[in-house]
Amino acid sequence: MKASNIPKLVEFARSDFKSVPKGPGVYVVFWMRDGKPIPISRILGTDKKGILYIGATRGLKRRLKKLWNSIDAIRGKRKRKKFHTFVRSLVYTGLLNIIKDDELRVYFKEFSKEDAEYQEKLALLEYTRKYGEPPPLNLQVGRQYFEIYGLSIYGESRYADELDDDLRSVLGL
């Protein structure tokens, strides 16, 4: 998928997220300016796609709406007590003062609940292997995300399938 085809988060918000499915899935937040990704320096190279965050959810519409409402709240546009992890990371890193709302773009794909969790972990693992660290706003990622050895998840019987081709493409992996 071309970077310029990834929709702005603000466009989904304007339509009250009507085109976002309610089911489980994986979503990726990008930083783009004028339709072009902002390159992000990482330990092992530069992420030329501008990936800020990779997440999975049981409800895409609900989660993306929560993410947007958290951005509005942190900017003083609404009241909120709990904030999406992405927004807490924006504040912690200082990127809240650098990234404009209309520079946030989001890609999402529906999966079953179980597959969404595995695809998120595989996406984070492959991103980390390529760049030496997770995306900059995935600050909550703990070691359990990287306990994938070979074809199985450590301590579980489920096989870690291959990363979805669409996710691989959008992440540039």
**Domain-embedded: residue 100:** yes
Is the pLDDT reported for residue 145 higher than 80? no
C-alpha to C-alpha distances, 20 to 62, 95, 155, nearest whole angstrom:
9, 26, 34
What domain count does the chain have?
1
For residue 67, give the CATH number of its domain.
3.40.1440.10
User: Terminal CA-to-CA distance of the chain, rounded, Å?
Assistant: 12
List, in sequence order, every residue forming a beta bridge with 56; answer none if it has no partner. 26
Query: What is d(CA 135, CA 71) in angstroms, rounded to the nearest whole number?
Result: 19
- Give the pLDDT confidence of 146-164 residue by residue, as tens digits: 554 444 444 454 555 688 8
pLDDT at 62: 95
Q: Which residue has the higher pLDDT, 80 or 42?
A: 42
Is the pLDDT reported for residue 126 higher than 50? yes
**Domain-embedded: residue 170:** no
pLDDT at 150: 44
Q: Which residue has the higher pLDDT, 125 or 52?
A: 52
Is the pLDDT reported for residue 131 higher than 70? yes
Q: Which residue has the higher pLDDT, 9 or 163?
A: 9
**Domain-embedded: residue 95:** yes
Amino acid 143 reads R
Q: What is the mean pLDDT of residues 32-42?
A: 95
Domain span at residue 14?
3-160
- Give the pLDDT confidence of 93-107 residue by residue, as tens digits: 899 999 999 999 999
**Domain-embedded: residue 165:** no
pLDDT at 142: 61
Averaged pLDDT score across all residues of the chain: 86
* Torsions phi, psi for 52 (to 5 deg): -100, -35
**Domain-embedded: residue 30:** yes
**Domain-embedded: residue 169:** no
Confidence of residue 4 (pLDDT cuts 50, 70, 90): low
**Domain-embedded: residue 172:** no
pLDDT at 130: 95
Query: What is d(CA 84, CA 63) in angstroms, rounded to the nearest whole number?
Result: 8
**Domain-embedded: residue 24:** yes
